[in-house]
């Protein structure tokens, strides 16, 4: 099996990891400084006890004795080491704290995204829908909701297993995201139900999205048929009414989706 190519990591977490690696490298350099200082200290001690072997007193014209000069050098190096060591510890502590904070933020963000479909989870819906309702009423702009439910999904799970069911869900979620704008939201509302929020979208715009989803799902099903089971969706469309709660909006769009699902079943039975 061919290994995937290495992908360069980006983002704050990757930058902090690089900074931590650089910090470890600086710690190695710090130990080199310690060894150098130890050598200087050893030379200073030897020159203090054996000045004749280290200095030519006739050739060195300074006001300080060689021993004092070495002591000053060693003291300067040790002071630099203490400062560098303290700086490394402070920077390392800050980086670790920031890394922990970003990890917590990533975990929180991950809880907002459904692992199977890669869309928002229902736990994030309350804040998301509440914010869009407030903005729609404040700006006097329309807000459309679209509820999507998969037809025959239970049979997919029963016949072909939950892995195939997850695959179908992920494909439908991808289709939904491809049919809306970047400013719209797709939420996994239940097992095989998705709620799509369409800010600044009126009835006509919502109908366009609904037709687009039906067409895309039909195209996908024609080339990706799961066994002998046709995959289709039932879609309910509802526009928010000023003063109405988020729960009421969801109940209304769910009722419209259920009505279309029942109508599809009657059409299927009549055709058979």
- Give the pLDDT band of residue 247 (cuts 50, 70, 90): very high
> Which residues span the domain enclosing 72?
12-111
Q: What is the pLDDT of residue 64?
A: 52
Per-residue pLDDT, 75? 73
Looking at the chain, how many residues does it have? 272
152 and 85 housed in the same domain: no
pLDDT at 93 over 60: yes
Task: Name the domain count of the chain.
Answer: 2
Greater confidence (102 vs 80) lies with 80
Of 19-28, 67-76, 129-138, 259-268, the one with minimum mean pLDDT is 19-28
Burial zone of 127 (CB within 10 Å; 0-12 exposed, 13-18 middle, 19+ buried): exposed
pLDDT digits (tens, 9 = 90+) for 170-217: 999 999 999 999 999 999 998 899 999 999 999 999 999 999 999 999
The burial of 205, by beta-carbon neighbours within 10 Å (0-12 exposed, 13-18 middle, 19 or more buried), is given as middle
Please name which of 249, 253, 232 lies closest in space to residue 240, comparing C-alpha atoms. 249
Q: Tell me what pLDDT residue 5 has.
A: 44
Look up the pTM and report it.
0.62
Last residue of a domain, one of 88, 111, 134: 111
Mean pLDDT score of the chain: 79
**Together in a domain, 152 and 56:** no
Q: Are residues 48 and 160 in the same domain?
A: no
């Amino acid at each position: 099996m061919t290994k995937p190519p290495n992908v360069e990591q980006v983002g704050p977490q990757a930058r902090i990891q690089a900074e931590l690696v650089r910090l470890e490298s600086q710690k190695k350099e710090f130990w080199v400084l310690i060894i150098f200082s130890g050598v200087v200290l050893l030379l200073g001690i030897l020159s203090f006890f054996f000045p004749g072997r280290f200095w030519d007193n006739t050739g060195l014209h300074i006001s300080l004795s060689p021993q004092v000069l070495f002591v000053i050098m060693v003291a300067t190096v040790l002071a630099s080491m203490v400062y560098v060591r303290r700086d490394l510890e402070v920077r390392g502590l800050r980086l670790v704290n920031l890394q922990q904070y970003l990890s917590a933020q990533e975990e929180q963000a991950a809880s907002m995204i459904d692992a199977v479909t890669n869309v928002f989870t229902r736990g994030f819906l309350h804040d998301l829908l509440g914010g869009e309702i407030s903005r729609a009423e404040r700006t006097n702009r329309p807000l459309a909701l679209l509820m999507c439910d998969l037809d025959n999904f239970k049979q997919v799970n029963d016949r072909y297993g939950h892995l195939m069911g997850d695959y179908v869900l992920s494909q439908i979620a991808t289709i939904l995201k491809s049919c809306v704008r970047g400013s719209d939201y797709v939420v996994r509302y239940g097992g095989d139900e998705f709620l799509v929020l369409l800010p600044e979208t009126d009835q006509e715009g919502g109908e366009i999205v609904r037709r687009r989803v039906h067409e895309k799902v039909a195209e996908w099903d024609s080339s990706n048929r799961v066994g002998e089971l046709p995959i289709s969706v039932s879609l309910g469309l509802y526009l928010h009414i000023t003063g109405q709660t988020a729960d009421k909006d969801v109940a209304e769009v769910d009722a419209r989706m259920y009505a279309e699902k029942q109508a599809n079943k009657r059409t299927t039975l009549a055709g058979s």
